[in-house]
Amino acid sequence: MLEIKNLHARIAEDGTEILRGIDLKVNAGEIHAIMGPNGSGKSTLSYILAGKEDYEVTEGEIIFHGENLLDMEADERAVAGVFLAFQYPIEIPGVATMEFLKTALNAQRKAKGKAELSIPDFMKLVKEKAGDLNVTMDMLKRPLNVGFSGGEKKRAEILQMSLLEPSLCVLDETDSGLDIDALRIVSEGVNKLRSPERAMVVITHYQRLLDHIIPDVVHVLSKGKIVKTGGKELALELEKNGYADFIEAA
């Protein structure tokens, strides 16, 4: 489904090189975890997948469902099935969460040539998905992410993900800012979305998220390169020994 080949990228503004030749292949139905120390390029990778303009790809390519992802605008990628759950979800003042969900869902449906959902159908759908994530009606009426707690923000991200039904979910440090209970709710939400047609790339510092969302493959990213790939036991090893060995290796 997703194939990243020899990806090099730098920050557009000052030319700082961040990614130095990433190769990654993710098949439908798989969950890949990407771990690594601060500054290794994990978040940059997620932004480049989603199409953020602050980065410049200098070499390599990204093939998604057989198409060149780098040729597409951010909104086209979203419609094609790429979803990024943000580490720091952005506040949109004055726009009720419900309103945002509906606008986003209908924008995608329209881009795919489908009719907009009627209000009753939409409400039914949201209520069903929101219930699973402990998202209350009150929260849906509040402006998106404005004054949300850390847990509320992440739950709102996963709610969007479950409504938009992307084929590739990129979760950027979804565990940051979550207490144990919130982590469980969010992980359950994510696990519910596991399916043979869907792939996930889970970016995290810590093993603890991977206790809940069990990956098929774990990669270690250091200084802009994948330096080790293994099964889920690799995450446990990292937890015990830290990243120091790999930083040396890179």
Binding site for another protein (CB under 8 A): 50-54, 73-75, 77-79, 83-84, 86, 89-95, 99-100, 102-104, 106-108, 110-111, 116, 143, 160, 164
Taking the C-alpha atoms of residue 176 and residue 38, their distance in angstroms, rounded to an integer, is 13
Q: How far is the CB of 108 from another protein (least distance, A)?
A: 4
Residue 141 near residue 98 (C-beta atoms within 8 A): yes
- Closer to another protein by CB, 36 or 81: give it: 81
8-state DSSP, 130 = H
Q: How far is the CB of 90 from another protein (least distance, A)?
A: 4
- Closer to another protein by CB, 104 or 214: give it: 104
Strands 31-35 and 199-204 come out as: parallel
Residue 181 near residue 94 (C-beta atoms within 8 A): no
- Closer to another protein by CB, 117 or 250: give it: 117
For 236, counting Cβ atoms within 10 Å of its Cβ (0-12 exposed, 13-18 middle, 19+ buried), the class is middle
- Closer to another protein by CB, 93 or 196: give it: 93
Q: How far is the CB of 106 from another protein (least distance, A)?
A: 6
Q: How far is the CB of 80 from another protein (least distance, A)?
A: 10
Taking the C-alpha atoms of residue 197 and residue 199, their distance in angstroms, rounded to an integer, is 7
- Closer to another protein by CB, 99 or 132: give it: 99
Residue 85 near residue 169 (C-beta atoms within 8 A): yes
Q: How far is the CB of 107 from another protein (least distance, A)?
A: 5
Taking the C-alpha atoms of residue 49 and residue 9, their distance in angstroms, rounded to an integer, is 11
